[in-house]
Amino acid sequence: MNLSGKIVILTGVSKGIGHATARALLAKGAVVAGWGRTAPADLQHERFQFIECDIRNEVAVQEAYVNTRREVGEEIHVLINNAGVGIMGPVDGFAADDWHTIFDTNVHGTFYCCRAVLPQMKRQGQGHIINVASLAGTMGTENMAGYCATKFAVRGFSEALFKEVRQDGIKVTCVNPGSVETNFNGATPGAEPNPHKLRAEDVAATIIHALESPDGVLVSEVDVRPLRPKK
């Protein structure tokens, strides 16, 4: 897909992978509707429109979708489900509210957003959905049961969805990053890049690569790892 002039909905735009992806999309000429609870303070561009949305809320997603089409255009060419939260801890000490929060964001929010855009993408006969999962969705890790469970769910959802809509001309790609140096889970990136972690810009570049694949090519899933992880 040539991204110039294409309309992209991007969730979790305020920081980290979402923020880096928004910048990469704008550099390619795309029109970006950034959905989030907080607007990015340092992202001002004539082709960027912030749309307030808490993806955990089904009604809020529906309202954001209507507002997006009103503000930036009727057609929706790309949806990037990037918004996510990580809450860690042992299962026997894990709060039920925290469990619900990570599922509401990582799994239910992804479903709400996909369901919102699919009718229009089917009418267009084209579209591309990117779901950002994690390598934590490929193997279980102690003290990360809740987070791993959500990312396993996103991967399964993505695989089922790509098989469901590929004949409609809609692509679905699941991106599984490894350790990324972002504000995720309360962490603060260092002043110098960590050579043992991915940068948000690395994941953004992978997303752009998948989006720019030829029309007849589907990149269904991609793992993204740091070359030299910390031992």
Instruction: Report d(CA 22, CA 180) in Å as an integer.
Output: 17
| Model pLDDT, residue 182 | 62
Total length of the chain:
231
Is residue 159 predicted with pLDDT exceeding 80?
yes
Active site residue 147: yes
Is residue 186 predicted with pLDDT exceeding 90?
no
Tell me the backbone φ, ψ of residue 222, rounded to 5 degrees.
Answer: -145, 130
Burial letters 173-208, b for 16+ CB under 10 A, else e: bbbbbbbbbbebeeeebeeeeeeebbbbbbbbebbb
Q: What is the mean pLDDT of the chain?
A: 94
Is residue 5 predicted with pLDDT exceeding 70?
yes
Structural domains for the chain:
7-224 (3.40.50.720)
Query: Cα torsion for 111, 114, 117, 123, to the nearest 10°?
Result: -120
50-84: pLDDT as tens digits: 999 999 999 999 999 999 999 999 999 999 999 99
Instruction: Report d(CA 35, CA 43) in Å as an integer.
Output: 13
Percentage above 70 pLDDT, the chain: 95
Percentage above 90 pLDDT, the chain: 89
Q: Write down the catalytic residue from 112, 147, 157, 184.
A: 147
Please state the separation of Cα 173 from the chain's center in Å: 10
Instruction: Report d(CA 120, CA 122) in Å as an integer.
Output: 5
| Model pLDDT, residue 204 | 98
| Model pLDDT, residue 174 | 98
Confidence tier at 195 by pLDDT (50, 70, 90): confident
Is residue 20 predicted with pLDDT exceeding 80?
yes
Is residue 10 predicted with pLDDT exceeding 90?
yes
Average pLDDT score over residue span 20-34? 98
Which among 66, 63, 69, 33 is positioned nearest to 51, based on CA atoms?
33
Is residue 183 predicted with pLDDT exceeding 70?
no
Q: How many CA atoms lie within 13 A of 197 on its CB side?
A: 16
Is residue 26 predicted with pLDDT exceeding 70?
yes
Instruction: Please state the pTM of the whole predicted model.
Output: 0.94
| Model pLDDT, residue 231 | 72
| Model pLDDT, residue 72 | 96
Range from 91-105, 177-191, 217-231 that averages highest in pLDDT? 91-105
| Model pLDDT, residue 191 | 54
